[in-house]
Amino acid sequence: MKEKMTRENLWIYILSLLREGPKYPYELDSLIEKRFGWRPAKVTSYIVLRSLRSKGLVKMTKRRGESGRMRDYFEITDAGKEMLEKGLEFIKQTYEKLSGKSIC
């Protein structure tokens, strides 16, 4: 069950972190592990980011990172913010229906 709720919904984790500001893929993996307690496979994050980008939910820009290297940074678009809110609302409503308890 945990795998179904994490890896298959990685887009929600990624968009929620990108809502805080631009990130590069390796950074996302580390932040997911730190904040949510599991680490996605590196290739999985790239696959999800590519899918989110093709749907216009994130955009990529090249920037010089703190190390001085050029990196691909991803940031959430307005469409991505809207999709994230819809996803979070769906999760909230589902939880409330299943548990009979309100999250708020």
Q: What is the CATH number of the domain that holds 24?
A: 1.10.10.10
Segments in 25-77 forming alpha helices (H): 25-36, 42-54
In a domain, 46, yes or no: yes
- Residue 2 token pair: 């945990």
In a domain, 12, yes or no: yes
In a domain, 104, yes or no: no
Range of the domain at 24: 2-99
DSSP state for residue 23 in the 8-state scheme: B
- For the chain, how many structural domains are there in total? 1
- Region 62-83: mean pLDDT is 93
**What confidence score (pLDDT) does residue 104 get?**
67
CA 54 to chain centre: 15
Question: Cβ(70)–Cβ(64) under 8 Å?
Answer: yes
Q: Quick check: pTM over 0.95?
A: no
Q: Higher model confidence: residue 9 or residue 42?
A: 9
Find the helix or strand (DSSP H, E) in which 63 lies.
strand 58-64
